[in-house]
Amino acid sequence: MALAQAGLNYDDLRALDPVAVGIRIVEAAFDAKSDSTLADAEERDIVAEVVSWILEHPADRAPSPEEVVRKTIETTIAETALTEIAATLHDKGASFAERQSVEQQIRDVAAEYAAQADLTATGATEQEMATAIETGIRDIGTIFGVPS
C-alpha cells in the first residue's frame, strides 16, 4: 500500500514540523494499532528512537521525509536483529566487548541496508519499506548465524 493510500505524501509531510513527520511516517510503517503486546512495546521503542533522532537535528537542518523513512528502516532492522541475535550471543557466552562489537556491526549493516533501500522517488510505499526491513533482518540473521 502506498503512503498516499495511508493519507501520507511528501508534500503533506514537508508542511509538518520534523517530529510530526517522524510520527506520521513511523505510524504508517507500523500501521500503529496499540495493543500492549511485546511487539507493540518494541514498536514504541523504535518510534521513540526515530523521534529522538529527528529532535537531535538543528532546527534549520531538519531531516527530509525520505531521511526519516530511511532512519525508520534502519532502526527497525537494527532493533529487531539485535533482539533476535541477543539470545544467540548469550548462548555462545559472548563477552561484553564481543556483544558491543556485534551490536555496532549490526547497526552499521542496518544503516547500509536503509541507505540502499529501493524507494520510489515520489514517496516510499509501505511495501518498499517492508521489503527493505524484511531483507535486512533476514540477511543480518544469516550473517550472524541466527536460524530463520
CA distance 9 to 83: 32
pTM over 0.95: no
Of 84, 81, 94, the closest CA to residue 137 belongs to 81
Per-residue cell: 61:
537542518
Of 80, 65, 86, the closest CA to residue 135 belongs to 80
As a whole number, mean pLDDT of residues 5-14 equals 60
As a whole number, mean pLDDT of residues 58-78 equals 87
Q: Mean pLDDT across the chain, nearest whole number? A: 79
Q: Give, in order, the Cα–Cα distances in Å from 99 to each of 49, 102, 145, 147.
A: 20, 5, 14, 18
pLDDT bin (cut points 50, 70, 90) of residue 125 is: confident
**What is the pLDDT at residue 35?**
53
Helix, strand or coil, per DSSP, at residue 72: helix
Residue 65 has pLDDT above 50, yes or no: yes
- The pLDDT tens digits of the residues spanning 35-54 come to 555 566 777 788 788 888 88
Q: How many CB atoms lie within 10 A of CB 87?
A: 10
Task: Give 111-122 as a 3 state SS string.
Answer: HHHHHHCCCCCC
**What is the pLDDT at residue 57?**
84
